[in-house]
Amino acid sequence: MRLFAAMFAGAALAASAQDAPITSFPYTPGLDVSSMDRSADACSDFYQYSCGGWLKNNPIPSDQAKWSVYGKLYQDNQRFLWGILDSLAKQGEGRNATQQKIGDYFAACMDEAAVEKLGAKPLAPYLARVNAMKDKRELGAVLGDLHMDTGDAGLFFGVGSNQDFANSNDVIAFAGAGGLGLPDRDYYTKDDDRSKEIRNKYVAHMTRVFNLLGDTPEIAAKNALVVMSVETALAKASLTRVQKRDPYNLFHKMDGKGLRAMTPAFDWDAYLGRLGLAKLDTFNVTEPAFFKAFDAELGSRSLAEIQTYLRWHLAKEASPYLSPAFVNENFEFFSKTLRGVPQLRPRWKRCVTLVDSQLGEALGQEFVARAFSPKLKDDTNRMTKRIEQAMRDDIQSLSWMSDATKKRAMEKLETIVNKIGYPDKWRDYSSVEVKRGDFFGNVERATRFEQKRDLAKIGKPLDRGEWLMTPPTVNAYYNAQMNDINFPAGVLQPPLYDPKMDDAPNYGNTGGTIGHELTHGFDDQGRQFDAQGNLKDWWTPEDGKAFEERAACISDQYAQYVIVDDIRINSKLTLGEDVADVGGLILAWMAWKAETIDKKLEDRDGMTPEQRFFVGYAQWACENDRPENLRVKALTDPHSPGRYRVNGLVVNMPEFEKAFSCKPGAPMAAVKRCRVW
């Protein structure tokens, strides 16, 4: 479970315009003058000034919910991975064991004719297991098996390994809420017309899937309402995303006796036995109210209703791996209706994504060998150290923090581990059998491997070298419990990090990202964990209060911004990301100034170095979004839209106002500034 891994940017999926594998990345410069709109006034709308050309030249591809600089790089990245996988799939002789696995996995996935021929058949053994239930008491054993096979928390809940909040060196079992088909609990509870419409369409979608499973239209419609009613009960008992930002809301350790007493209708002995955890006696139940609601549902529902619920979630989870009838039905609701995407992604994209998610560190080895040189690693490492030094200087200079808290903050900063590019030790996939003609079987075996790997960590010494993202990932994260920052090789590529460019745009862009991740260690969530990753308050009460006041300034500022329609940013949800954005770029600025103190900086393209720093920053955030997708993001995404990640940030920096000689009172020259770091 990745409870406290704060992601930098949700990577978008790829476009269909260029449907051919590639063996080298097309070059896009870190600062692209043609992406700017120099007819716009930088002091009125800096996002338009930096991204206006990009927005105009980059309409959203038909298979995408949004399109962005990250999304475009991700598309190149996918085509590059396609090149690797395509050649390994075709190569008969001379592949090593890792290459065989990813090559054959990809080949099996691409064989749509074989998948079509099987129809819903691969799902049959799972449905049979559910249909054979004679008593609700059997749910423990059945769910245990299904969780091992599907790895999915969509089936009521999930159990996985996680660091103990109280002692970060201990890996314990976390039982977490799940069980919903829609992307957030709010979809079930909100009363506006749009939410009602989505719920109706969701029921209609479930009806069609039950139909595909062989139910008559009448039965299918009835079954869909049963699922909706179970999920609504679970949703009402689930925490909101804002509530989940407070780790104390998710920390409820109990022993096996406590767990069983809380959910008497569920057979934990049978369940844990199936997970190979029969003797386990320490649990963190992240959301007790949810588990009580689950127990109440189990107690009050008929066996047939429980079976209906399970059948739906099995079909939903398996749909991407089944025949086109299931794939298309799943796409129609979850992509087209929910996010406004007109067209299904071509099969190769879906297969590349699958290899990355199931055998990511095997694919990652091939990616790193081709796209991440030791020099690139050294250079980005050096930049990271610069940003860290800036944070040291910054903390020491804070007027609002006492020496006592500063000492602890410095301890935490010094303990942060920098992970750059890829893990020191690669994951061993030797026990995963991959067969060329067995796509569904490969998915099952890789899923079981991952489930076993995850659960096997419980009770064992913590592996501090582990990564939560694969090397090709175009994203980055900070993990509060590991207290590490992680930058996969995929995110350290042009135009985000451009070795051909000078420092100004690189520090603005990737430097800003590094600063962003570092400050996550000190945002509203991260600051609650100490240097060792334990949930422990290390702030003096006055300093804690001073932090909250400064964070509230940012929260109030972002709450003004409209996302789509009349929906404003839920700035309590985006607080950590907004604070990290603002603080991150200040650190990048300080680091850039230190790095270039002895260098003579020159104007380029009619811009000063300072202006290029800011344009370099802004150009990572250019994005076009579909209104449907914006509505989903308003409920689920802890990041603010790109426009505000740029404009909302620069208004807080006097350095920006000076760089562009903005007149007092200009929209980008705020009278009231917010600053935490």
Catalytic positions are 517, 581
Distance CA 676, CA 433 (A): 51
Distance CA 250, CA 176 (A): 9
**Min separation Cβ 6 and Zn ion, Å:** 4
Site for Zn ion in 557-596 (CB under 5 A): 577, 580
Residues touching Zn ion, count (CB under 5 A):
4
70 binds Zn ion (CB under 5 A): no
Residue 104 or 523: which CB sits closer to Zn ion? 523
In sequence order, which residues have a C-beta less than 8 Å from that of residue 222 and are 6 or more positions away?
none
Residue 486: DSSP 8-state: E
Residue 210 or 558: which CB sits closer to Zn ion? 558
Among 45, 12, 49, 89, smallest CA distance to 616 is for: 49
Residue 8 or 529: which CB sits closer to Zn ion? 8
Distance CA 387, CA 585 (A): 10
- Tokens for 571, please give them: 């700035």
Distance CA 145, CA 158 (A): 12
4 binds Zn ion (CB under 5 A): no
Site for Zn ion in 648-667 (CB under 5 A): none
* Bridge partner residues of 10 (DSSP): none
**Min separation Cβ 561 and Zn ion, Å:** 17
Residue 108 or 575: which CB sits closer to Zn ion? 575
285 binds Zn ion (CB under 5 A): no
644 binds Zn ion (CB under 5 A): no
Stretch that binds Zn ion, among 3-11, 151-159, 503-511, 648-656 (CB under 5 A): 3-11
- The residue within the footprint of Zn ion, chosen from 1, 3, 6, 212 (CB under 5 A), is 6
Residue 413 or 432: which CB sits closer to Zn ion? 413
Distance CA 333, CA 203 (A): 10
**Min separation Cβ 416 and Zn ion, Å:** 15
234 binds Zn ion (CB under 5 A): no
Stretch that binds Zn ion, among 4-12, 74-82, 161-169, 660-668 (CB under 5 A): 4-12
Which residue matches tokens 């007027």?
Answer: 399
**Min separation Cβ 643 and Zn ion, Å:** 17
Among 528, 427, 520, smallest CA distance to 476 is for: 520
Q: How far is CA 422 from CA 19, 409, 465, 496, 653, in A?
A: 28, 27, 10, 17, 34
Helix axes 374-397, 403-415, angle to 10 degrees: 170
348 binds Zn ion (CB under 5 A): no
Q: Residues 84-113: x/- map of binding to Zn ion (CB under 5 A)?
A: ------------------------------
Listing DSSP states for 225-252 in one string gives HHHHHHHHHHHHTSPPHHHHTSGGGG--
Give the largest Cα separation in the chain, rounded: 79
Helix, strand, coil % (nearest 5) of the chain?
55, 10, 35
Q: Nearest 10 degrees: CA dihedral of 365, 369, 371, 372?
A: 90
**Min separation Cβ 355 and Zn ion, Å:** 26
372 binds Zn ion (CB under 5 A): no
Residue 616 or 638: which CB sits closer to Zn ion? 638
Q: Residues 524-563: x/- map of binding to Zn ion (CB under 5 A)?
A: ----------------------------------------
Which residue matches tokens 């040291």?
Answer: 392
522 binds Zn ion (CB under 5 A): no
312 binds Zn ion (CB under 5 A): no
Residue 99 or 475: which CB sits closer to Zn ion? 475
489 binds Zn ion (CB under 5 A): no
491 binds Zn ion (CB under 5 A): no
**Min separation Cβ 620 and Zn ion, Å:** 13
Using a 10 angstrom Cβ sphere, with 0-12 exposed, 13-18 middle and 19 or more buried, the burial of residue 192 is: exposed
- The residue within the footprint of Zn ion, chosen from 1, 4, 8, 398 (CB under 5 A), is 8
**Min separation Cβ 288 and Zn ion, Å:** 28
Residue 358 or 574: which CB sits closer to Zn ion? 574
Can you say whether residue 557 is alpha, beta or left, with left for phi > 0 and alpha for psi between -120 and 50 degrees?
A: alpha
620 binds Zn ion (CB under 5 A): no
**Min separation Cβ 466 and Zn ion, Å:** 20
Q: Determine contact, residues 609/602, Cβ cutoff 8 Å.
A: yes
Question: 441 in helix, strand or coil?
Answer: helix
Residue 144 or 521: which CB sits closer to Zn ion? 521
82 backbone dihedrals φ, ψ, rounded to 5°:
-60, -45
**Min separation Cβ 487 and Zn ion, Å:** 12
Stretch that binds Zn ion, among 7-15, 240-248, 375-383, 582-590 (CB under 5 A): 7-15
AA identity, residue 613:
F
Q: Are strands 417-421 and 484-488 parallel, antiparallel or unpaired?
A: parallel
Applying CB under 5 A, the residues found at the interface with Zn ion are 6, 8, 577, 580
